[in-house]
Homo-oligomer: A and B are copies of this chain.
């Protein structure tokens, strides 16, 4: 099951994620695709960088799949998250959940994206047009002061 949950530094192929969950028992696949948005509250993003603890992040993505299996009957989940430099409209994350009936696929997919932001160790660095940067976790709530080491990796 673990090969349904992975971190990549390459452009994400949406179909690769969807193909993992399409099956004869399922009549519904809900897919959530997170892309890099150019404007946030009027402020322009030039590009993003995502960093992850790869092994732990994949383990946590897999855990989300297990949580979905506990909560919804006969669901199959695949999740891929990209790291590295992402330009505007690049795909950062794809979630695909197949279920026999559509309601469950919507609910489980929605659950997955919220859980990714809660428990998966992936950090985002926003590069704004005005030259400032912002580093934070996926919930966009944490005030995080970058360390010297973080800055050296700029």
Chain A positions near chain B (C-beta within 8 angstroms): 14-15, 18, 22-39, 88-89, 98, 100, 102, 105-106, 109-110, 113
| Complex copy number for this chain | 2
Q: Are B28 and A31 in contact (CB-based, < 8 A)? A: no
Given contacts A27-B36, A28-B35, 5 further A-B contacts (CB under 8 A): A14-B15, A23-B89, A24-B37, A25-B37, A30-B31
Q: Which residue of B lies closest to A39 (CB)?
A: B25
Q: Are A106 and B32 in contact (CB-based, < 8 A)? A: yes
Q: Are A100 and B29 in contact (CB-based, < 8 A)? A: no
For A113, the chain B residues whose CB sits under 8 A away are: 102
Q: Are B31 and A33 in contact (CB-based, < 8 A)? A: yes
For A109, the chain B residues whose CB sits under 8 A away are: 30, 106
Q: Are B31 and A35 in contact (CB-based, < 8 A)? A: no
Please report the C-alpha to C-alpha distance between residue A94 and residue B15 in the assembled complex, in whole angstroms. Answer: 13
Residue from the list B25, B37, B102 in contact with A26, Cβ < 8 A = B37
Known A-B contacts A109-B106, A110-B106; the reply to A35 vs B27 at CB < 8 A is: yes
A-B contact pairs, 22 of them (CB 8 A): A14-B14, A14-B15, A22-B33, A22-B35, A23-B89, A24-B38, A25-B38, A25-B39, A27-B34, A28-B32, A28-B34, A29-B31, A29-B32, A29-B35, A30-B33, A31-B31, A31-B32, A32-B102, A32-B106, A34-B102, A37-B100, A106-B110
